[in-house]
Amino acid sequence: MGHMLKRIYDKVLKDHFLNEKNMAFLAGPRQSGKTTTAELYKPKVSSYWNWDDVDDRSSLRSSPQRFQESLIKRNSVQPVVLVLDEIHKNKKWKRWLKGFYDKNQHQYEIIVIGSARLNVFRRGGDSLLGRYYLYRHHPFSIGEIENGAWATPLFRNPSKISTSTFHSLYQFGGFPAPFISAREVSHNKWLKMRTELLVHEDLRDFSKIEDLAAVELLTELLKGRAGGLLNYQNLANDLDVSVDTVRRWIKILENLYYLYLIPPYSTNIKRALKKTPKVFLWDWSAIEDKGARFENMVASHLLKSVHFWTDCGLGNFDLFYVRDKQKREVDFLVTKNKKPFLLAETKTSENKPSFPLIHYSNILKPEYSLQVVMNKTPQKKVIAESKPLEIISAQDFCGSLV
């Protein structure tokens, strides 16, 4: 697997600048391939600047006009594409970028990259709203590896999905370096390095947290709770801190793409859970429990599709889980324009549809009701109270997504 794998985001950038003058923001986890995606877009006429580079930072701290002068001096060929990496670490980055963009929007195709959520920095006087489109950049998924091309229509024919691709992604995760290496030793080293970068660099740059050791312990605790309800009180007890502190740390880890939260869906559900989210990790390979890792892997494939479909203008998609106070639960519900679209329950081996899946399928009447099974099972339809439910292997299901 040492070859370069084509990313769907290459086509996203090409389509964006073919049709838009706004900036393109690529936001996603550190080491998910954002910089490579940007650098491979028109590489002969692009100019790359990184806030973490000392020399680049000096130029990026100057006025937009002086930066324009530095830009001209650096490049022997007049650049068409300007790539700005990690500039959100500059406290005044939005004001600076607004000034530069307003004067140069017709001269450059501007790509802004960030490993923290670029849309969380809004301030009243320097908002960039109306000047960019945000594209959420994910690690590899089965559909992207096997198909590569633009994912329209929403679902693709998964008939040629490789079993080895599924198992490799399950074992090593979707981040490019460990997945392409496909070596357990390299994977273990990468996991350790990722935690160190998160705790000692990203948290330092992004927040004023002093007790980094406690946050590192929190990341370890969350590995054992992935896919479960997020109980702030239990975590606070384990860490010997206040609930408010845990909430703040969780939000920071969410903004740094360590974890994501899936909220409950309550519309038309009697006695539904309405507040408590479930927690998942961006890197499912860090989860030891096989069932939890599998559920997290499916969740990440769904989240990537929901983000991609929404960011590319195919509709407004959201991801939920469904659970009521009688503990009837289905793992995932995707809504399209606020209406139930896809209901999915994950199972490691069960080939009969679960009762909650049948129950909520009849109530919500989504376009698709699926039981996603980890083992290689033939796809089949089951009629439950006149509502068709499909049982499909995880390999085929994930392969049909983005």
pLDDT of residue 30: 95
pLDDT value at residue 206: 80
Same domain, 189 and 58: no
Q: Is residue 3 in a domain?
A: no
pLDDT of residue 123: 47
Residues 131 and 236 reside in one and the same domain? no
What does the radius of gyration of the chain's CA atoms come to, in whole angstroms?
A: 22
Mark whether 106 and 179 lie in a shared domain: no
Rounded Cα distance between 265 and 378, Å, is 30
* Residue 2, domain member (yes or no): no
Q: Give yes or no: residues 80 and 193 share one domain.
A: no
Contact (Cβ atoms closer than 8 angstroms) between residue 321 and residue 303? no
Q: Which of 94, 118, 136 is the last residue of a domain?
A: 136
pLDDT of the residue at 384: 52
Looking at the structure of the chain, the number of domains it has is 2
pLDDT less than 50: residues of the chain? 1-2, 122-124, 386
Residues 259 and 122 in one domain: no
Same domain, 123 and 184: no
Domain that holds residue 44: 8-136
Say if residue 170 is in the same domain as residue 312.
Answer: yes
136, 162, 180 — which closes off a domain?
136
Does a structural domain hold residue 1? no
Whether 190 and 290 share a structural domain: yes
What does the DSSP assignment read for 173-196? -SSHHHHHH--HHHHHHHHHHHHH
Asked whether residue 155 is domain-assigned, the answer is yes
Task: Answer whether residue 60 is part of any domain.
Answer: yes
- Structure-block tokens of residue 42: 């028109």
Same domain as 90, residue 232: no
pLDDT tens, 157-191? 665 678 899 999 999 999 999 999 999 999 999 99
Where helices occur in 117-242 by DSSP H, the ranges are 142-147, 163-172, 176-181, 184-197, 203-206, 212-223, 232-239
Residues 248 and 270 in one domain: yes
Q: 156 and 105 in one domain?
A: no
Rounded Cα distance, 145 and 142, in Å: 5
**Could you say which of 115, 136, 157 is where a domain stops?**
136
* Token couple for 179: 């997945």
Identify the CATH number of the domain in which residue 61 sits: 3.40.50.300
Q: Which two tokens stand for residue 374?
A: 């980890």
Structure tokens at 205: 């740059």
Does residue 233 sit in the same domain as residue 293? yes
Residue 393 resides in a domain: yes
Judge whether 384 lies within some domain.
yes
Task: Answer yes or no: is 208 within a domain.
Answer: yes
Q: Token pair for residue 36?
A: 């490579």
Residues in the chain, total: 402
DSSP letter at 11 equals H
